[in-house]
Amino acid sequence: MRVILRRELPHQGAQLRFEDVGGYRLTAFATNTKVGQLADLEVRHRLRTRCEDRIRCAKDTGRDRFPLQGFAQNRTWCLIVALACDLLAVSQLLALADAPPPAPGNPARSGCG
């Protein structure tokens, strides 16, 4: 198992946390991948962060709640929430299509809407 630790300066306007020492943000991740360049592992880790953000958006939209009584009704609720999440993702892609790419070394942070 390898642990990869990264020290980077936060992007402009970022809110520093109390564990950010000396103005640097420390992030770490563990992997059991034996082969591969460090840059490939970095890309895979950042893509996983984007996936986690989509999961958080789905929960904020109502995916973790089942407000109705029957199974079929809650199944319909989940389909509606999934459609809402897809619409959010597509609208973000369309709205950010002409935006410049993020600076290297900083993760692309996308919000829920």
User: Does 107 fall in a domain?
Assistant: no
User: Does 89 fall in a domain?
Assistant: yes
User: Does 105 fall in a domain?
Assistant: no
Q: What domain range includes position 80? A: 2-96
User: Does 25 fall in a domain?
Assistant: yes
Which tokens sit at 3? 């642990």
User: Does 109 fall in a domain?
Assistant: no
Give whole-number Cα distances, 109 to 15, 47, 69, in Å.
13, 11, 37
User: Does 113 fall in a domain?
Assistant: no
User: Does 75 fall in a domain?
Assistant: yes
User: Does 104 fall in a domain?
Assistant: no
Tens of pLDDT along the chain (113 residues)? 888 888 888 777 777 777 777 778 887 878 887 777 777 877 777 777 777 788 888 888 887 788 888 999 989 988 998 898 888 888 888 887 666 555 554 444 444 54
Q: How far apart are CA 27 and CA 1, in angstroms?
A: 17
DSSP notation for 38-99: HHHHHHHHHHHHHHHHHHHHHHHHTTT---SSSHHHHHHHHHHHHHHHHHHHHHHHHHTTTS
For the chain, the domain total comes to 1
Write down the pLDDT at residue 41: 79
